[in-house]
Chain A
Amino acid sequence: MQEDNSAPSWFLPTISVLALAFLAWFIIDQREGLVRLLSWTWNGLAQTPQALQNVANHYAFLPSAQLWPSLLLGALFGASLGAWWMSRFGPRKSGRDTIWGAVGGLLLGLVGSQLLILPMQHCTFAAEAPISQQIIGLGLVLAGVLIALLPFLSWATRRVRRYDSTAGYFRSAWLPYVLLVPMLLSLGLFLYLPSLQMVGLSFFRRRFPLPQERFICLENYTALFQDPIYQNSFITTILLMILIVLLSLGLALGIAVLASQKIRYASVYRTLLIWPFALSPVVAGAIFLTMFREGPTGLINAFTNALFGTEYNWLRDPRLAQVSVIAASVWNILGFNILFYVAGLQNIPKDVLEAAMIDGANRYQRFWQVTFPLLAPFTFFLLVTNVTYAFYGIYGAVDTLTRGGPPLGAAGRDGGATEVLIYKLYQDAFNPGSPVGLAAAQAVILFLMVASLTLLQFRTIDTRIAYAE
């Protein structure tokens, strides 16, 4: 601690006192809510013995025909996975490893097979369950085995490292965890717990906002996949996502290249180009509504009417409605992409470009063979972000512009032209009397889609990117 830069001696005590006073005021002011939160948590925990009793009862009364498929599959899959893994990656790579792997895999496979099936009360293997649900049930068993087995296998085949306890920022071992606890608590309470509750909700038939509900196992999921409106939602979402991502990335790259030229006021242009990103998707949708509106009150139609004497049904024609939504979304996310591309372009080392120039590459070759590959980390990051935006953030534009778009087919029985998955989800969740259980199932499917897309992107593209050291 330097003498000149140290804080005055009254600083730390005053800050501590003020912080304590604020904490005291907060707790007293919010005492009602805090007491309610604590009592709710306590009630939840106090139900544990009852919950365990319920589980025991469930197994006691479960017909064996419903139980053995999951146990058998879990045991077989767990044992074979454990044996194979240990034989390939085990520390000693001997026969003993394989046996240990098989035994551990068998036991954990039995436990893991029940992980996902038990909350659903083994309903997928009930006698009256349709084939589709039984197959999904088998898949859930395999997933449960993987969840139970993989941590154990990773631990069993870890490379042993000696940890230097004196390295790192924190001297004490417990302080980091104490500092993490508030964040983990709020994440757990407001993100993970509601997500689990929503997964539970997807197994019920329920009408928002009434409290009554009926347990229907996986019927929500099977109904969705057979619903032509949901299938249309699916296809529309994929189509719009591809177009939005390609357009926004392409345009952003071009604009970023132009904005990175050495011209006067380039920084001003760059700032102005980034601004649309700060607008919420609803505002972007509202701006584009004034442009795409029907009749002479819409700006675009006013122009085309004056120039060519024609008007277009931007919001009532299925194809044009999709164009409107794509335009609003691309414009909204463009600033974000430009921001990153400009940063990326500024980080391209000049000597590589000069070397390419010396080697005789023209402008296009320099761009596509040198600049673009060096921008690959940015492109990859923007790809992931844009895909997430195209799945979720597009809701604001759709709701403002088209409300799910012109209906296709008689009375919209083929869906809506711009009814994307997230929009259909909201409609099925928050309108009075709407099927919120179905919406929960849609949310789970959407989450799995985006998660697997992101995982896919990480596995395929990220491995091919050369990150700068």
Chain B
Amino acid sequence: MRKWLLGALSATLMMILSPALAQDQITIEFVHIFGAEGDTRADVIRAIADDFEAQTGIKVNITSPSTDYTELFNSVLLNAEQGRAPHVVQVEEGLTQLAADSGYFIPISELASPEQLATFEDFIPTVRAYYEIDDVNWSVPWNSSNPVVYYNKTLTDLLQIEIPSDRPLTFNELEGICQRIMMAAPVIRMRAQNFRACINWPMASWFLEQWMSMKGELMALPGNGREGARVTEMNYDSESLVEIVSWIGDMAQKGYYTYSGTPNDYNGEGALFGTGATAIHINSTAGITLFVAGFANAGVKLGIAPLFIPDEEATNGVTMGGASLWVTDGHSDAETQAAVDFIFFLTKTENDMRFHQGSGYFPNRLSSIEALTKGGLFVDAEGNPTSPSAEGAKEVSWFETYPFFRIALDQLLASKGTIANAGAVVGPSSEVRLLLVRAVQSVVDQGIDPAEALAAAKAQADAVIRDYNAVIGN
């Protein structure tokens, strides 16, 4: 009995200790938020990482601890405090200032080789500018998105309303269209009983940031926090923003605009549009493939158009949304270099194209856009997508086959790339954005005067920023 026990115990010990005797190999950890059940984007990323492993022999462990940017960021920083941060982290654009202030990340411009840094020229200017603070490139853009307009084309065709896909409509034109749609509302309700309003979009600050950027206005002063000085106040009381919020209040009052009741409810608003409660919808391009597939299944035509502009003169262009890839501190030189190499591999032209085609986020590189305009998709004789090595496969233009991808991209390429397009870099970004949302909510739900609401939001936001700056210093 005793010998048997001894033998079993020693065997167990050997099994447990054997991993520690394995060879030294460079392993890097990469975390992202696309780990939900059935999310095909995770498969695309894994395939790219497998190619990297095959080429370099560096093992890449990819995990998705959360599907929420904020939770992911919190867990990464808590791990970093204990010295166990993952090497590559996907950080949302709104968290840029926090990531820079935390001290747990190293700017990519300090780590990348000159050849790698030269590839930054290939990025779309607005995209690149979004992750630059004070001429320092902290991170590499990865998944970028824009808002676009989705609309029920079957309905608008029926009512003989035209929404062009090559030029954005102004607010006034949109109001005219909504007036015509709402006049036909009783008829619409005979087919779709839950039709409620002409247009809906998430009650979030992102869309107001777009409209301010279109007008060339800054959201935060001085200089959106990008010109060497920290942000000290938010520009919420600017005339342009008061105008925009007044317009939203008017639309709500006339019954043209509605929302689900919960702020930042991107999924809920999409569901409202998808179930026919509204005719027009504004949402991120990140969900483009979902909307296209959903409407195709329902047998209803879906139209996609560029985001509305406040007026004819607002031509400065949109800002962005999405996330970028950051490298954490506290690893060996070999591992840090491996992490940087992986990031540039993941975002090089070929993989940039692969990720766009597999996700809906638009390609970040001008070379990717060129390649996808000339080709990028292989079809067989019937025109169905097929693999490049199949018999009779012919290469066609990706963007010509799927023109709706082009719309968001053209919108972004047309933006001027000024500081206004680059968006605000603020420490307590979620708080100040929520205050703007609350201001719009009080205008839409309670009918409070827009100037008063925005002034109250500005007062609170400025106090938050003062408090933040008092802690972080300099």
- Residues of chain A having any CB pair with chain B under 8 Å: 17, 21, 24-25, 28-29, 205-214, 293-297, 313-316, 402-403, 406-407, 409-413, 430-435
Contacts and interface: CB of A to CB of B under 8 A. Distances in A.
Contacts of B435: 411-412
Contacts of A208: 74
A295 B196 contact: yes
B193 interface: yes
Given A25-B12, A25-B16, A411-B438, A433 B194 contact: no
Contact of A410 (B16, B429, B452): B452
A4 to B, nearest CB: 27
B5 A433 contact: no
Interface in B147-187: none
A432 B452 contact: no
B339 to A, nearest CB: 21
A364 to B, nearest CB: 43
A434 B471 contact: no
B454 interface: yes
Contacts of A432: 70, 73-74, 94-95, 98, 428-430
A294 to B, nearest CB: 4
Contacts of A431: 70, 430-431
Contact of B471 (A24, A25, A206, A430): A206
Contact of B430 (A409, A410, A434): A434
Given A28-B16, A210-B102, A411-B460, A296 B471 contact: no
Contact of B456 (A210, A211, A406, A413): A413
A21 B9 contact: yes
Interface of B: 5, 8-9, 12-13, 16-17, 70, 73-74, 77-78, 81, 94-95, 97-98, 101-103, 193-194, 196, 258, 260-263, 271-272, 275, 277, 427-431, 435-436, 438-439, 441-442, 445-446, 448-449, 452-457, 459-460, 467-468, 470-473
A413 B271 CA distance: 31
A295 B194 contact: yes
A412 B442 contact: yes
A225 to B, nearest CB: 16
Contact of A207 (B193, B194, B442, B471): B471
Nearest to A315: B261
Contacts, number: 137
B431 A433 contact: yes
23 contacts: A21-B8, A24-B13, A28-B13, A206-B471, A295-B196, A295-B260, A295-B272, A295-B277, A297-B194, A314-B261, A407-B438, A407-B442, A409-B448, A409-B456, A410-B448, A410-B456, A411-B453, A411-B454, A411-B460, A432-B70, A432-B94, A432-B430, A433-B427
Given A24-B9, A410-B453, A211 B430 contact: no
B470 A214 contact: yes
A359 to B, nearest CB: 56
A314 B260 CA distance: 11
A413 B196 contact: no
Contact of A297 (B8, B77, B275): B275
B5 A29 contact: no
A209 B442 contact: no
A433 B441 contact: no
Nearest to B449: A410
Contacts of B17: 28
Contacts of A28: 13, 16-17
Given A24-B9, A28-B17, A406-B441, 15 more contacts: A25-B16, A207-B427, A207-B471, A214-B470, A296-B196, A313-B261, A316-B261, A316-B445, A409-B442, A410-B452, A410-B455, A411-B436, A432-B74, A432-B94, A433-B428
Give the interface centre of A402, A407, A433 by most chain B CB atoms within 10 Å.
Answer: A433
Given A25-B16, A210-B98, A410 B442 contact: yes
Nearest to A13: B1
A25 to B, nearest CB: 7
B364 to A, nearest CB: 24
Contacts of A433: 97-98, 427-431, 468
B442 A403 contact: no
A316 B258 CA distance: 12
> Sorted from nearest, which 4 A-B pairs have the closest CB atoms?
A433-B428, A412-B438, A296-B194, A411-B457
Contact of A209 (B8, B73, B97, B262): B73
A114 B17 CA distance: 51
B240 to A, nearest CB: 17
Contact of B12 (A21, A296, A412): A21
Nearest to A289: B262
A286 B77 CA distance: 30
B78 A209 contact: yes
Contacts of B449: 410
Contact of B263 (A212, A403, A413, A434): A403
